[in-house]
Structure 1
Amino acid sequence: MIKLGSTGVEVTKLQENLMTLGYKVGTSGADGSFGRATNEAVLEFQKDNNLKPDGIVGDITEEEIYKAILNNKAKLSQSLGERATSIYIGGEQLRTIGWKNVNINIITDLNHCLQKYEIITLPRIWHFISQCSYESGLGLYTKEIGSGLAYEYRSNLGNRYAGDGPKYKGAGYIQLTGYDNYVRFAEDIDDPRVMEGADYVSVMYPWMSAGFWWHSNSMNDLCDKGATVEEVTLRVNGGYSGLETRRKYYDLCVSVIN
């Protein structure tokens, strides 16, 4: 049971789910602290779903949140013009590779991503998953740890106004960064809420945003030419940071995804 004053990972996940559904949990986003803003979000959710508005998240409220997220994902599929999404990779495969925080949101977003951006041949999938595995710490990080203040007024990223740096800091498993990139991504998937910034993208589209980067940088073409892990890493990283670990993840992907 989670309520006002609770802290920890369970609170963080609750906050992320509420944000996914469009509720505001405070200016700090999913910070793992059940404060007044999160309490107000829970009360609002409970009222919207005809639950007892007590601000306490027990089994019933958790189940209704889960149902609402599933419904939200169904609406997302429809908005993307996809009546059905093929399952290219399942949760058990990701867990075998070592991924953390695997849930239905992550698996749905992943398979939407693979389908939309045509990451559907084995070499494309192996390279994509292995690079995302390294860049995100096996799914541990869905957005940049830093504040994003370093990106303030960066014209090359399209950050023109105060607050753009933190709002449009890196989000997703291959971090999407900067106002202009967020605009292009929002247009590509036809979801204007992307412009709410990193908190929204990191929860709703950690995979899809990575797929958008992958597609925008012609990574499928590179994979189709028989690229090595070194060649793909250079394109993703601009260097060879973590190359041995990336090789390890690639070999794992080859053995698990086939």
Structure 2
Amino acid sequence: MKKEELTELLQRVAHQQVTIKEALAQINDQGFLDLNYAKVDTNRLQRTGAPEVVYGEGKTAEQIIGIVQAMLVQKNNIMVTRVTAEKATLVRQAIPQLKYVAVAKMLLYKMHSVQPVSGKIAVVTAGTSDQKIAEEAAVTAEMYGNQVIRVYDVGVAGIHRLFAKLEIIRAAQVVIVVAGMEGALASVVGGLVSSPIIAVPTSVGYGTAFNGVTALLTMLNSCSTGITVVNIDNGFGAGYSASKINHLQEESNENSLS
């Protein structure tokens, strides 16, 4: 542990933000910090290039507070997904530097800036009802330094809306398509653009949409090439994967110039 990290840790102990037991565990870091209710991965950044992200659903506000406080010592950017407004209010009372993005249901803290990527990611939705999942994807991508183009409510029921934005979408290095109901938009976009597409089925829809299963099966069975499908409502996973692809393209461009 670096001197400045140890100093900050001791200050947190003095302010009763971290227990002595938790502090000792961090000093004797074995790659994770055991909080009893959670094991915080302290070297994921070194292994994967991105720090741990906290999945907030199913965790209490107190548990999220404890996990985030432990992560703050690592001086990494913080992302907590699937957090209700009520839970976010409680968490921010303890950690006010966290920003809550209500539409995406995410708590964020950018401790340091991320090197921006020149390539853009387009996030395209079939309907306005898909926006909360799309925003989870968009905000995630932005946290990793990507420029995001939002193209919302261009589903196949009014396909002329999609054609009006087609050149904007084609300019993106990666396209995320978010759709519920029958999930047809991913196949349509897949037949119109050359960029890789990440399809996100959402749980939006009436009875036989089966909470996103119908859209998922449509996307998995798409005859359009170049489509990768993530889990139902997994905006975070789509944003993260799109960022990885976009960064690889950036590295490829830099290597070709060197």
TM-score by length of 2: 0.27
Normalized per residue, the structure richer in helix is: 1
Q: Higher Cα Rg: structure 1 or 2?
A: 2
Q: Which of the pair has the greater relative contact order for Cα pairs under 8 Å at 6+ separation?
A: 1
TM-score by length of 1: 0.27
